[in-house]
Structure 1
């Protein structure tokens, strides 16, 4: 079986400070991506134990290195590199399943440790009247190729968000948000309780094996088309940048809308 992993950094165990751990010039960024890579390796190992014959991972935390330490990568994992911020690359119908690793809740998610949606510009994103974040966008990207999402790891807000879309998804929460600490634009930072990296890896490996053994239970979500995209930005200047693009209508100083026939029409 062939599996594709979408990776992010904000949902990894112990990652709770955006500036110090998630920015490339942060004091603890290198430590954070090492922890993320070991966590990814545990996921890969569990997938192999569950029957995977090929595993690909896309490091989606910005452009290269994307939140992964390449030198520490599991020897059986192939890395989709230099794909930038445009979303997962190399997806096709030959994949049997996809997994979300290290994800976070959408902007405004209650108890989200580092909740946001495509930082830094958007505050909220809707498909028709349904509020979505990065989790839904990634799931729909793969469902366009008939590839189901079978598992998610991240904070509890991310697991809850994915479960609302896929009720039987295998979910591993590695941390839980407490009270709000600060806001960085539309990104909310919360105090948190986290599993140790070792315990997170143990739970992720076990869940990955279970998820792939249950792969026949999962079906790709169907995105209703056409749909109305609505994006609320954190500053009016972003509306100014988008307002003259084809098909875009300005609703107010913070919000644009657009009729979309598929994900290829979405702008953020």
Structure 2
């Protein structure tokens, strides 16, 4: 059984603030260790369920957050950037299941460090008319590849967003949001035991086809930016059309559409340079 783990950082046990998850932050080094412990709990759970191959993609920010020496010795690590598929780099149809560790809720929700991919630069994203953030877009792309998301860890807001998108996904809330930069924290040892147990349970049976399994047909991706300048610039890319002064859309097939969205974000980053959690 081949298992793919996408590891973000905002939804990691004990982390609540930009200083916890951004390089140079006063608690970032501690945050990196906390991230490794949550990921290792998921790896242990996968191995206990019979996984014979586990790959971890460091999917947060610079994508160099996990220190290789702190990762479980039986897991392989995809580290660094640029990555054409970003948070899903290395995911293929040969994987039997995907696990998301440390994920957060989408922009506009009252979740810990909530945003959609780019801090407040992205205000809203829709996939075929449905609001999505990182959770929904990741799930939909993996589904097209035939890989079910079977488990996700994060705060209670991220877990609720996941359950609303696909109720078959096992979720583990490692903290309860009180506001965007405040939460009630689950004790670390307890949270890691829960992650390990949940991952094992989610993989113990043959993974089911995702409830929102997408077809091979086209999907429509729409993004509303904080800056009209970003939207205007993106119109120079073939197939991108304007919805209004700050909103653009395009139509295509996942996962190609997911990769194209990564290009949009690189364009936006070159124009704005804003900190993620303003």
Common fold: TM-score over 0.5: yes
- Alpha-carbon shift at residue 39 of structure 1 (Å): 1.1
1:208 aligns with 2:195: no
Distance 1:237 1:210 in 2: 47
Residue of structure 1 in register with 2:107 after alignment: 107
Residue of structure 2 in register with 1:141 after alignment: 141
The count of aligned residue pairs is 256
1:36 aligns with 2:27: no
Residue of structure 2 in register with 1:84 after alignment: 82
- Alpha-carbon shift at residue 83 of structure 1 (Å): 4.4
- Alpha-carbon shift at residue 22 of structure 1 (Å): 1.4
Task: Return 5+ residue gaps in structure 2 as ranges.
Answer: 265-278
1:242 aligns with 2:234: yes
Distance 2:141 2:242 in 1: 26
Task: Return 5+ residue gaps in structure 1 as ranges.
Answer: 180-188
TM-score by length of 1: 0.90
Residue of structure 1 in register with 2:222 after alignment: 230
Distance 2:46 2:193 in 1: 13
Contact 1:12 1:103 (8 Å CA) reproduced: yes
TM-score by length of 2: 0.86
Contact 1:42 1:201 (8 Å CA) reproduced: yes
Distance 2:82 2:196 in 1: 27
Distance 2:47 2:203 in 1: 9
Runs of 4+ in 1 over 4 A off after TM superposition: none
Distance 2:209 2:253 in 1: 25
- Alpha-carbon shift at residue 246 of structure 1 (Å): 0.6
Distance 2:243 2:25 in 1: 37
Cα displacement string for residues 196-249 of structure 1 (whole angstroms, at most 9, x for unaligned residues):
221111110111111110333444742253222211001112112212111112
Residue of structure 1 in register with 2:244 after alignment: 252
Q: After the TM superposition, which of the residue ranges 233-242 and 258-267 deviates more from structure 2?
A: 258-267
User: Root-mean-square deviation (CA), in Å?
Assistant: 1.7
Q: After the TM superposition, which of the residue ranges 213-222 and 91-100 deviates more from structure 2?
A: 213-222
**Matches of residues 41-60 of structure 1 in structure 2 within 5 Å?**
41-60=40-59
